[in-house]
Amino acid sequence: MSKIIEGLKYSESHEWVKVEGSVAIIGVTDYAQAEMGDITYVDMPDVDDEVTAGEEFGALESVKAASDLYSPVSGKVVAVNEELDDAPEKVNEDAFENWIIKVEMSDPSELDALMDAAAYKAQIGE
């Protein structure tokens, strides 16, 4: 059974969002990393890049597949998790501790379109 954390927001494309003030911390869900298998590479944008809700911002690559990452919110990238450059497997170890990007949100109301933990659990059938 996948780990799902209460109080986070979830997208249909299996990203999670933790909100701290006007910053959205974004990663992939435990369910997503389990489906991917051993992650071998995380493709991330650069700091100061703009991301748009629903648009691709990077990708995960694993021994089984490659999967695009979609931003749940719009805004400017203010940080990327550089640890994942050298240790992409950290996403497998703990998908919620090992965030991918942090975004200064330009429109926090976009969070309203995301799911809560219960809705996400229903989406993945758990």
Mean pLDDT of 17-44: 97
pTM of the model: 0.96
What pLDDT shows up at residue 1?
83
Determine the average pLDDT of the residues in 69-93.
98
Which DSSP helix (H) or strand (E) runs through 76?
A: strand 75-80
Domains (range + CATH), the chain: 9-106 (2.40.50.100)
**pLDDT surpasses 90 at 126:** no
- Going by C-alpha positions, the residue among 22, 11, 7 that lies closest to residue 107 is 22
Q: Above 90 in pLDDT, residue 25?
A: yes
3-state percent breakdown (helix, strand, coil) of the chain, nearest 5: 20, 35, 40
CA distance 52 to 50: 7
Tracing tokens 């700091």 back to the chain, one arrives at: 47
Among all chains, which residue has been given the structure tokens 């996948």? 2
**CA–CA dist 18, 112 (Å, integer):** 13
Condensed to tens digits (0 to 9), the pLDDT of residues 34-79 reads 999 999 999 999 999 999 999 999 999 999 889 999 999 999 999 9
